[in-house]
């Protein structure tokens, strides 16, 4: 069971998050601000935090700063209002962490959490669901409604990588690093071929698509 701490002063938003996280099978802990959060962290092994940057008493920056100072490296999903993006202190460590802009789409939140957990090696659940599809890493299957497709390894992991961060552009090299391994000597163009096959395979499935960003790489677009 994965423990998630939600640090959010807005009660109704916090409750909403709780509901969705509960439903997704996480154990949810709540805190209304940074001071509360630290208390919870003292008593419970938390695997991931969802933190609002704007809170009374101790805000998100102070909280994460406090944790970094104590060398605790829990992945943090930061929630911020668009205006707050201008805040100079927004310099959290991308790479381990991620952010979302309000208003929060619950579906997106779950996706990002799954991705963070996977990236930090915490997730044992090799399951992921995006836009009405379920990806199962153990069987390399993609389930959509009644249809089940078994994908070749490379195609599966490619799709999984892209869908972990919808809209985020992945360079070929980034995908190679993640899937083929950092030191592979396979031609990065191979990615193109797999992308083509994925597109072909899912061409009749309009919940998502893989788009080309010329000069950079590829990204997944998930539709509502």
Q: How is residue 177 annotated by DSSP?
A: I
> Is the Cβ of residue 33 or residue 112 nearer to a second copy in the bound state?
112
Enumerate binding residues for a second copy (CB under 8 A): 1, 25, 82-83, 85-86, 88, 90-91, 93-96, 99, 101, 117-118, 123-124, 126-130, 132, 134, 138-141, 150, 152-153, 167-169, 213-216, 219
Binding to DNA, residues 150-189 (CB under 7 A): 150, 152-155, 180, 184-187, 189
> Is the Cβ of residue 46 or residue 140 nearer to a second copy in the bound state?
140
Asked if 132 interacts with DNA (CB under 7 A), we say no
Q: How far is the CB of 6 from a second copy (least distance, A)?
A: 18
Q: How far is the CB of 131 from a second copy (least distance, A)?
A: 10
Q: How far is the CB of 155 from DNA (least distance, A)?
A: 5
Give the pair of three-digit tokens for residue 179: 């899937």
> Is the Cβ of residue 10 or residue 143 nearer to a second copy in the bound state?
143
3-state percent breakdown (helix, strand, coil) of the chain, nearest 5: 40, 25, 35
The piece of 35-43, 66-74, 118-126, 190-198 that touches DNA (CB under 7 A) is: 190-198
Exposure class string for 46-78: b at 16+ Cβ within 10 A, else e: bbbbbbbbbbeebbbbbbbebbeeeeeebbbbb
Report the DSSP beta bridge partners of residue 3. Answer: 27
> Is the Cβ of residue 25 or residue 181 nearer to DNA in the bound state?
181
Question: How many whole angstroms separate alpha carbon 118 and alpha carbon 125?
Answer: 9
Torsion angle, alpha carbons of 219, 84, 18, 143, to 10? -10
- How many degrees, rounded to 5, is the angle at CA 16 between CA 10 and CA 116? 95
Are 101 and 167 contacting, i.e. CB atoms less than 8 angstroms apart? Answer: no
Per CB under 7 A, residues contacting DNA are 150, 152-155, 180, 184-187, 189-190, 192-196, 199, 212-217
């Amino acid at each position: 069971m994965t423990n998630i701490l939600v640090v959010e002063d807005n009660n109704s938003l916090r409750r909403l998050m709780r509901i969705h996280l509960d439903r997704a099978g996480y154990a949810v802990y709540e805190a209304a601000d940074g001071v509360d959060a630290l208390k919870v962290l003292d008593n419970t092994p938390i695997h991931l935090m969802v933190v609002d940057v704007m809170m009374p008493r101790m805000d998100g920056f102070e909280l994460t700063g406090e944790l970094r100072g104590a060398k605790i490296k829990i992945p943090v999903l930061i929630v911020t209002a668009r205006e707050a993006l201008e805040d100079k202190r927004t310099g959290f460590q991308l790479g381990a962490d991620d952010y979302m802009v309000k208003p929060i789409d619950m579906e997106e939140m779950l996706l990002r959490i799954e991705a963070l957990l996977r990236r930090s090696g915490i997730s044992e659940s090799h399951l992921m669901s995006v836009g009405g599809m379920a990806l199962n890493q153990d069987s390399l299957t993609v389930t959509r409604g009644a249809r089940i497709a078994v994908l070749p390894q490379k195609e599966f992991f490619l799709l999984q990588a892209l869908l972990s961060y919808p809209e985020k552009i992945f360079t070929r090299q980034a995908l190679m690093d993640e899937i083929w391994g950092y030191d592979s000597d396979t031609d990065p163009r191979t990615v193109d071929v797999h992308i083509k096959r994925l597109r072909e395979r899912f061409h009749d499935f309009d919940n998502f698509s893989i788009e080309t960003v010329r000069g950079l790489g590829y990204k997944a677009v998930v539709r509502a």
